[in-house]
Amino acid sequence: MTHTGKPGHDLTGDETGAPEPDGLGARLVVDHGTFRLDIALTAAPGEVVALLGPNGAGKSTALRALAGLTPLTAGHLHLDGKKLDRLPPESRPVGVVFQDYLLFPHLTALDNVAFGPRCQGATKAQARATAAAWLDRMGLAEHSGAKPRRLSGGQAQRVALARALATNPRLLLLDEPLAALDARTRLDVRAQLRRHLAAFEAVAVLVTHDPLDAMVLADRLVVVEHGRVVQEGTPQDIARHPRTDYIAQLVGLNLYTGRAEGHTVRLDGGPTVTTTEDLTGRVFVAFPPGAVTLHSSRPTGSSARNLWRCEVAGMETHGDQIRVALTGELPLAADLTTVAAAELDLHPGAEVWATLKATQTHAYPV
């Protein structure tokens, strides 16, 4: 991947008169009645950024604003130093892969891909040659004469990607690129898409509410909730240091805030937790559900510094484990094997004791 490693882009752009760097520099403000999107978004050429967030967070609105399908209420949009705000969608150097691909049903795969170059002024022969090269690169050469209805979901996805890339976009937008695929196809297509995105030298922005897609496909995640950016960083950084409940749930962690004094954190409105980190002041404390051990009676002689009395609020299968939701002194999720759940005679309302080793917790400043 061709990371330029450029430091933070100028977000204010023309407001300061500073030249805009290559890549994407945007502040997208869109008013939809009671909903307001207001996010800053920057990306260097070669970077893949995922907008991740729950339903209704504003991800699609952001994508539509980048594509020019929804006008900005305020803010700005620069790409490779050029201002795009007022350009109509068809004049923007932007390629879009829509969630359901939106291939032209009456055109062959080849002509679907040739459509963009044709619109850009290529002759029919040139456009078809470009399209054939892209289909070949996508491993679809033998399907070039097929109409979309004869293509599998994974093949249609690649045709849509080829169609977007055939126009040489400086910004590639992908809206939930894998959502239309079944679980098995998804795995393959995700791996292929990752390779194509890695080879793409301009900016790619994808929208997803699937954390796995985001983590596998993107170099950087921008998490959006209620129209605002709540956290951004590398997938590893976000998984290790979630800063909202939504992100903690996505990455499967129990997350709390509190005040640290050395190795002890007094959780907001809750008990204390002993951690390995030595911190002072406001902190987050996170730990995985698998780090919690449950006991049917108060354990004696346990070396765990963290011991809480809880009540089982609910249980559900989670992979090959049982995830137990607990209330009480400290609301938390615990994962245990089916055998362990049976031995503990767990059921909603059951009283249990939870222990957690300090070494399994992770504290970091708010």
Q: How far is the CB of 151 from ligand ATP (least distance, A)?
A: 25
* The only residue of 42, 61, 108, 306 in contact with ligand ATP, by rule CB under 6 A: 61
Q: At 276, phi and psi to the nearest 5? A: -85, -30
Q: Helices in 31-182 by DSSP H: which ranges?
A: 59-67, 109-119, 124-137, 153-165
Q: At 165, phi and psi to the nearest 5? A: -80, -25
Counting contacts by CB under 6 A, is residue 209 touching ligand ATP? yes
* 37 CA to centre of own chain: 17
Give the range of 57-65, 186-194, 333-341, 357-365 binding ligand ATP by CB under 6 A. Answer: 57-65
Q: How far is the CB of 176 from ligand ATP (least distance, A)?
A: 7
Q: How far is the CB of 202 from ligand ATP (least distance, A)?
A: 23
* The only residue of 21, 26, 52, 59 in contact with ligand ATP, by rule CB under 6 A: 59
Counting contacts by CB under 6 A, is residue 28 touching ligand ATP? no
Asked whether 53 and 63 are in contact (CB, 8 A), the reply is no
Closest CB to ligand ATP among residues 61, 355 = 61
Counting contacts by CB under 6 A, is residue 365 touching ligand ATP? no
C-alpha span between 202 and 231 (Å, rounded): 23
Closest CB to ligand ATP among residues 162, 181 = 181
Question: Long-range contact list for 184-192, CB < 8 A, 24+ apart?
Answer: 185/152, 185/153, 185/154, 188/154, 189/153, 189/154, 189/157, 189/158, 190/216, 190/217, 192/139, 192/154, 192/158
Counting contacts by CB under 6 A, is residue 362 touching ligand ATP? no
Closest CB to ligand ATP among residues 60, 112 = 60
Q: How far is the CB of 56 from ligand ATP (least distance, A)?
A: 4
Provide the pairing of β-strand 228-233 with 220-225: antiparallel
Counting contacts by CB under 6 A, is residue 67 touching ligand ATP? no
Give the range of 55-63, 135-143, 284-292, 316-324 binding ligand ATP by CB under 6 A. Answer: 55-63
Q: Characterise 23 by phi-psi region: left (phi > 0), alpha (psi -120 to 50), beta (else).
A: left
Counting contacts by CB under 6 A, is residue 139 touching ligand ATP? no
| Positions 30 through 49 that interact with ligand ATP (CB under 6 A) | 32-33, 35
Asked whether 295 and 353 are in contact (CB, 8 A), the reply is yes
90 CB-near residues (< 8 Å, 6+ apart) = 119
The site for ligand ATP, by CB under 6 A, has a size of: 12
Q: How far is the CB of 32 from ligand ATP (least distance, A)?
A: 3
Q: How far is the CB of 54 from ligand ATP (least distance, A)?
A: 7
Q: Is the Cα dihedral 81, 87, 92, 96 positive or negative?
A: positive
Rg value, the chain, Cα: 25
Closest CB to ligand ATP among residues 109, 250 = 250
Counting contacts by CB under 6 A, is residue 173 touching ligand ATP? no
Residues engaged in binding ligand ATP (CB under 6 A): 32-33, 35, 53, 55-61, 209
